[in-house]
């Protein structure tokens, strides 16, 4: 077989056509790979957007929370709730007990409150209202333990109680460094 100029040109064009077809298939595979990566990136952006919205909602909640935002300290907050719930400032606060949980990322401060004088007692509805005020107006303070002793006051009715409350103030530990 004799290779002349026309056959050489045809062979060269055949190689170019095969190379072009191969290039097209290679580009299609690359485009498909990029499309998959784009889909994953879109999903990640959507997740980031959702997390961002959750963070904004939490920041809004904290801004409205007097204790969590730092507008009021725990003692002042408890006194305000005593007044707001109309139970009055009739409790003694014992020295708070601080319990750190660094692995979990928070510190608990426990406040134990008991009735200040023997003639102070409360009905269950007054106590419940006070507890609702404590837990309902902040996300940081909860009442994990309540003891109700029957009032020994002379003339006390059957629904007179002397509460002893343990209130926990949970604060996140501020992160330092990376």
Question: Each residue of 109-124: pLDDT tens digit?
Answer: 999 988 888 778 889 9
Degrees to nearest 5, angle at CA 169 with 60 and 98: 140
pLDDT along the chain (178 residues), means of 10: 76 90 91 86 90 86 77 84 83 85 91 84 90 87 92 87 91 70
Report how far residue 166's alpha carbon sits from residue 43's, in angstroms, rounded to the nearest whole number: 45
Burial grade of 50 (CB within 10 A; 0-12, 13-18, 19 or more): exposed
Angle between helices 124-136 and 74-84 (to 10 degrees): 140
Are 177 and 147 spatial neighbours (Cβ–Cβ below 8 Å)? no
Burial grade of 146 (CB within 10 A; 0-12, 13-18, 19 or more): middle
Report how far residue 62's alpha carbon sits from residue 109's, in angstroms, rounded to the nearest whole number: 19
Would you tell me which CATH number, out of the four given (3.40.50.11900, 3.30.70.60, 3.40.30.10, 3.40.50.720), belongs to the domain 74-172?
A: 3.30.70.60
**What are the residue boundaries of the structural domains of the chain, listed by start?**
1-64, 74-172
| pTM, rounded to two decimals | 0.62
pLDDT at 175: 64
Nearest of 120, 175, 117, 140 to residue 68 by alpha carbon? 140
Nearest of 51, 89, 72, 79 to residue 138 by alpha carbon? 72
HSE-up of residue 146 (Cα within 13 Å, Cβ side): 11
From residue 20, alpha-carbon distances to 9, 12, 16, 17, 135 in Å are 16, 12, 6, 5, 72
What would the pLDDT profile of 2-21 be if each residue is shown by its tens digit? 668 888 888 889 999 999 99
């Amino acid at each position: 077989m004799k290779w002349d100029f026309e056959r050489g040109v045809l062979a060269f064009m055949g190689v170019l056509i095969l190379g072009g077809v191969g290039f097209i298939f290679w580009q299609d595979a690359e485009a498909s790979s990029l499309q998959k990566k784009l889909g994953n990136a879109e999903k990640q952006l959507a997740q980031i957007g959702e997390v961002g919205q959750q963070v904004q909602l939490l920041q809004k909640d904290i801004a409205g929370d007097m204790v969590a935002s730092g507008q009021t300290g725990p003692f002042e907050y408890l006194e305000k709730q005593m007044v707001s719930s109309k139970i009055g400032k009739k409790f003694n606060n014992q020295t708070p007990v601080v319990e750190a949980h660094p692995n979990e990322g928070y510190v608990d401060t426990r406040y134990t409150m008991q009735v200040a004088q023997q003639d102070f007692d409360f009905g269950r509805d007054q106590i419940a209202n006070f507890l609702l005020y404590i837990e309902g107006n902040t996300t940081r303070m909860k009442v994990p333990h309540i003891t109700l002793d029957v009032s020994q006051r002379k003339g006390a009715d059957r629904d007179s109680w002397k509460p002893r409350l343990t209130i926990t103030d949970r604060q996140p530990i501020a992160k330092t460094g990376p």
